[in-house]
Amino acid sequence: MNQEYSVAKFGGTSVADHGAMSRCAQIIADNNNVRVVVVSASAGVTNHLVALCQSALTPQQRQAHIDGVIAIQLNILEYVSLDADLAHGFDVTLSAFRSSAEQAPQSSAHSDELLSFGERFSSYLFTQVLREHGVAATRFDVRSVLKTDSQFGKAQPNIKATAQQAHAQLLPLLKDQVVVTQGFMGSDDYGDTTTLGRGGSDYSAALLAEAIGANSVYIWTDVVGIFSTDPRVCAKAAPIAHLSFDEAAEMATFGAKVLHPATILPAARSGISVFVGSSREPQGGGTWIQKTPQGDTLAGVRAVTQRKNQILLTLKSPEMLLASGFLARVFTILSEHKISVDLVTTSEISVALTLDNAPNASRPELDQQALERLSEFCHVSVENNLTLVALIGSEIVLRQSELNLMQVLSEFDIRLICHGASKHNLCFLVEQSQSDAVVQTIHQRLLEG
């Protein structure tokens, strides 16, 4: 392990404009150990790119999204002038973007290529801003190192190949330079650009930290750490100073958008500490996520999260007698369509499960073909507009001491409830229109005072 190396990642709002980029550059200038910087697309850019991937756009709408992406870059370029090496690459990337965005992508490979432009642009601009802060910075195309399979929109990394490439190409650069590279993207065996899913830059940072043997990853965002619930939903949410890998992974999985759910995988596997803090307030503290967190880790509920836009799929076998092998058939189809399931409850002849239906996702979770295959042997019902609410902690058990919890839950109209597979969570589904209020009430009753 290169104990002295750290990786820092700056999210969309942290690189939204020149002022934000300058604050981030100062953070890097102040910490010599950070040798790899992973940048997201500037805020708003990836949403334009997701829109450009749709075919149902009028030429005017298409042009408006193209202009929107370019305006964000030009706004930053008003304040920095690119060195020749960066200017050339930026111009080439800009023309590639214009031609790639002219028409709706005809394949998922083209969609991923188009989705990658945000991070490609911001990495040129941020490299220059770092140089202006006296940091010897070089821009690096992450696609030559972060190798993935060809599951466009939700690519899975090849850990071994990524480590090999990082050792060959990245490590030699780090001795005397800071490398600025792109989050969210990689490339497959054929050299095609892939993306890791929305919010994937956090995951990229952890993967690169693992690949270079770094000991820590700094996730710089717009909040001073991971809070007991989304501070936008609940004004009394409080930052949590220390979390275990398990707790953080559960929070991210069940909707704490501050961290991409897969980020903790490489960190936990390789014992890399993860810090989450605000690039606006680098001295404002933050959350340290570690294998054995320091300080008091409390048993019981420590946080409440929510994931909106859930689909509840209920599948019922028509014949009880033919039910054997039913679950196996269902899950085989889901797996063949690469559909990822979150909650599951079963009875002998039926199964209910939840899937994501996030707007602006770069890949839909449930496709028509999968539904048709399921309908061949079971009754399928699909409910929308639900939110998955999760109570997260280290020892959530329904004993006497949690009666308070049961009392709180009994006040809501709960559609489905899951507990028991892990002591780290208790999850349930509620109507989306009520979910902010549910989260606020739970936070107030279980986490305040």
Instruction: Tell me the H-state helices in 38-116.
Output: 45-52, 59-77, 84-101, 108-115
Question: Among Mg ion, ligand ADP, ligand ASP, none, what does residue 184 contact (CB within 5–8 Å per kind)?
Answer: ligand ASP
Q: How many residues make up the chain in this entry?
A: 449
Instruction: Tell me the H-state helices in 170-244.
Output: 171-174, 201-212
Q: Which position among 14, 194, 201, 244 is part of the footprint of ligand ASP (CB under 6 A)?
A: 201
Whether 67 has a binding-site annotation, put simply, is no
Q: How far is the CB of 289 from ligand ASP (least distance, A)?
A: 17
Question: Which residues face 160 on adjacent strands?
Answer: none
126 makes contact with ligand ASP (CB under 6 A): no
8 A C-beta contact, residue 105 and residue 111: yes
- Nearest CA-CA partner of 308 in 233, 196, 236: 233
229 makes contact with ligand ADP (CB under 6 A): yes
255 makes contact with ligand ASP (CB under 6 A): no
Separation CA 52–CA 149 (nearest Å): 24
Site string for ligand ADP, 250-269 (x = CB under 6 A): ------xxx-----------
Question: Among Mg ion, ligand ADP, ligand ASP, none, what does residue 229 contact (CB within 5–8 Å per kind)?
Answer: ligand ADP
Tell me the residue type at 134. Answer: G
Residues that bind Mg ion (CB under 5 A): 11, 199
Whether 257 has a binding-site annotation, put simply, is yes
CA distances for 241 relative to 261, 265, 281, 284, 296, angstroms: 19, 20, 15, 11, 9
Q: Which position among 157, 199, 261, 277 is part of the footprint of ligand ADP (CB under 6 A)?
A: 199
Torsion (CA) 428, 429, 435, 439 in degrees, nearest 10? 0
- Nearest CA-CA partner of 121 in 156, 163, 81, 74: 74
8 A C-beta contact, residue 257 and residue 356: no
Q: Which is nearer to ligand ADP, 208 or 333 (CB)?
A: 208
Question: Among ligand ASP, ligand ADP, Mg ion, none, what does residue 46 contact (CB within 5–8 Å per kind)?
Answer: ligand ASP
Separation CA 276–CA 288 (nearest Å): 7
Question: Among ligand ADP, ligand ASP, Mg ion, none, what does residue 223 contact (CB within 5–8 Å per kind)?
Answer: ligand ADP
8 A C-beta contact, residue 215 and residue 3: yes
279 makes contact with ligand ASP (CB under 6 A): no
Q: Which is nearer to Mg ion, 199 or 286 (CB)?
A: 199
Q: How far is the CB of 280 from ligand ADP (least distance, A)?
A: 11
8 A C-beta contact, residue 181 and residue 38: yes
Q: How far is the CB of 279 from Mg ion (least distance, A)?
A: 12
Q: Which of residues 28-87 bind ligand ASP (CB under 6 A)?
A: 40-41, 46
Site string for ligand ADP, 4-33 (x = CB under 6 A): -------xxxx-------------------
122 makes contact with ligand ASP (CB under 6 A): no
- Nearest CA-CA partner of 130 in 42, 238, 22: 22
Per CB under 6 A, residues contacting ligand ADP are 11-14, 40, 199, 221-223, 226-227, 229-232, 256-258
List the binding residues for ATP: 9-12, 221-222, 232, 257-258
Per CB under 6 A, residues contacting ligand ASP are 11-12, 40-41, 46, 118, 183-184, 198-201
